[in-house]
Amino acid sequence: MVKIQEFQQIINELIESQDFKKSPSELYEPICYVMSQEGKRLRPLLTLLACDLFDGDIQKALYPAMAIEVFHNFTLVHDDIMDNAPLRRGKETVYKKWNSNIAILAGDTMFAMAYQYAVKTDPELISEILGVFSQAAIEVCEGQQLDMNFENIEQVTIDDYLNMIRLKTAVLLGASLKIGAIAAKADIQSVKDIYEFGIHLGIAFQLKDDLLDAFGNEQKFGKKSGGDIVANKKTYLYLKARELANQQQADELSLLYKSQPEDPAEKIFKVKEIFNLYGIEGYVLNVMEEYYEKSLGFLDAVNADKGKKDALRTFAAQLYHRVH
Amino acid sequence: MVKIQEFQQIINELIESQDFKKSPSELYEPICYVMSQEGKRLRPLLTLLACDLFDGDIQKALYPAMAIEVFHNFTLVHDDIMDNAPLRRGKETVYKKWNSNIAILAGDTMFAMAYQYAVKTDPELISEILGVFSQAAIEVCEGQQLDMNFENIEQVTIDDYLNMIRLKTAVLLGASLKIGAIAAKADIQSVKDIYEFGIHLGIAFQLKDDLLDAFGNEQKFGKKSGGDIVANKKTYLYLKARELANQQQADELSLLYKSQPEDPAEKIFKVKEIFNLYGIEGYVLNVMEEYYEKSLGFLDAVNADKGKKDALRTFAAQLYHRVH
């Protein structure tokens, strides 16, 4: 716990010390706006924790960690355009507050900035770190594309969905850890194991997100529940319900997922009624636990000090048990 | 000339040998589409010519050159969204052929791919090459932002304009040369000189583009002339005319540049009439020549074999004298 707080502080201070206020202001103001919003900043934390796990020098992982956070924020700026999302972290999104063109360009600039940070490390590490970073960046784009595809495809399987969230969400958590491990010069097998820890934890994390979106306490979760239902997102919940439902209810679900009512309350209620009828929450909890347990198995396999693994174990538990 | 053709062939073959056909096809088809269009591919050619100028090993510059070409194409994909441009190189733009979301995401993916190429060189060169590459990428974004700003600003000066085209166009030509020189381990002063050669040539290149857009032979130039006038682009031509015109004609020009008639023929005619009245073509030719001569001065200053400079001199002359 002490490690987590210490590293969080280091990351926050590094981000706050950056000078994003450059010219032209039309380009950099949105970047300041995004980077000054305190998100969870989970990814750079994972990088530092992984570096520390293998007794690495945190300084070598610090800017690559920053790169990952800037990259992650860039993806949100572009995703919000694609998803027409008006709000993010309770604030107006960049494309909404300014416009799409500025959001495209500010995002592009952040992507280039991320690479500027990524190379600020031991020169002999740069090639490997950038390889992981670019590969993850491409896979995140592939995941976003699949997510968009699913809006127009009727037959999405649960495996398709799990693959999509692996790419869109889990890969970057895996890469964050992997880059920290590389910075610490961990052995090859441990680098693989810590990556798989991140992949499996990331999938559990996204499933939890889906669950909280439908069944979370609105006040604790910080946003209206049912957002995925309103947006007709084919999440694990929906796909499992479609799989289990009888013909009539499967048809009803499909129909509800084609509607976009002005007041979505009734739609949300009806969909959740079907979810409840088939005990979908339980199914999600089960598959989530499966991924969570697998992730811990990979962490166990890592060749590192048992005590030091506790920080990552605590981190994983916090993600797993979070209520928002 | 032989060198130019030889290097062009190497670049074309490298691009054609890449496998851009990956999954999901919705993401990679637009990338194949863009990369298979044979543009001028000037930038990777500059990288190879600069590397060769300093007796470098072309193999070390080849993938960084590819990176620059992929990056350049990515910027076109995003610029075309921002500019609502339906056509590029005589073909539908990505955003028009598919949609904005796909164009955003395909562009982002290309940007990450560019970095994957950029690191495929001598490990000890990576840090310096990426530094130049990322800095240029950011400056290109700044230039695009300034270009968008100018649409809404009444008082744009000629210096503002020259600074904008330096960032938007010239910097990447300069960086292409600089990266080639770095790959060849040229001395620091020569790296600076070859960069400035590119900057000045790039500004001359853009001024030529502006000139061809207004006064070029439509058939040779390959697109309708007057496109910048229709789009109310505050080019050097417009700004110089505003500077020289009397009050009445300056007002008329301003008014014309606020209009967007269905049939732009009359608008183009009237604007060009004012341009002709003040001999604007001559002014542009003069300032162009000034930048061109300066660029050659920097090439002269470069510490390299005089004979080898001829390839770059030929390249510059071709750009300067081109009619399309």
- ipTM of the complex, rounded to two decimals: 0.96
CB contact under 8 A, B149 and A24: yes
| Min Cα separation A314/chain B (Å) | 33
Residue from the list A23, A116, A138 with its beta carbon closest to the beta carbon of B112? A138
Query: For a pLDDT cut of 70, what percent of chain A falls above it?
Result: 98
pLDDT at A219: 59
CB contact under 8 A, B101 and A23: no
The pTM of the full predicted model, rounded to 2 decimals, is 0.96
pLDDT at A218: 63
Collect contacts of A151-159 with beta carbons under 8 A, ≥24 apart. A151/A232, A151/A234, A154/A254, A156/A234, A156/A239, A157/A239, A158/A236, A158/A239, A158/A240, A158/A243
Distance, CA of A77 to CA of A79 (rounded, Å): 6
Q: What is the pLDDT along chain B (324 residues), one digit of tens a residue?
A: 689 999 999 999 999 999 998 999 999 999 999 999 978 899 999 999 999 999 999 999 999 999 999 999 999 999 999 999 888 888 999 999 999 999 999 999 999 999 999 999 999 999 999 999 999 999 999 999 999 999 889 889 999 999 999 999 999 999 999 999 999 999 999 999 999 999 999 999 999 999 999 998 765 555 567 889 998 999 999 999 999 999 999 999 999 999 889 889 999 999 999 999 999 999 999 999 999 999 999 999 999 999 999 999 999 999 999 877
CB contact under 8 A, A112 and B148: no
Residues of B with CB under 8 A from a CB of A: 23-24, 26-27, 78, 81-82, 100-102, 104-105, 107-109, 111-113, 115-116, 119, 123-124, 126-127, 130-131, 133-135, 137-138, 141-142, 144-146, 148-149
Q: How far is CA B312 from CA B70, B177, B299, in A?
A: 22, 10, 8
Q: Tell me which chain B residues have a C-beta less than 8 angstroms from the C-beta of A138.
A: 109, 112-113, 116
Residues of A with CB under 8 A from a CB of B: 23-24, 26-27, 78, 81-82, 100-102, 104-105, 107-109, 111-113, 115-116, 119, 123-124, 126-127, 130-131, 133-135, 137-138, 141-142, 144-146, 148-149
pLDDT at A91: 92
Q: Which among B143, B249, B218, B185 is positioned nearest to B57, based on CA atoms?
A: B185
Residue with tokens 């048992």: A306
Residues of chain A with pLDDT under 50: none
CB contact under 8 A, A145 and B82: no
Residues B64, B118 contacting (CB under 8 angstroms) = yes
CATH architecture of the domain covering B2-321:
Orthogonal Bundle (1.10)
- Residues 6 or more apart from B269 whose CB is under 8 A from it? none
CB contact under 8 A, B149 and A101: no
Q: Tell me which chain A residues have a C-beta less than 8 angstroms from the C-beta of B168.
A: none
Nearest CA in chain A to B83: A101
* Tokens representing residue A210 in the block: 């889906």
pLDDT at A58: 97
CB contact under 8 A, A127 and B123: yes
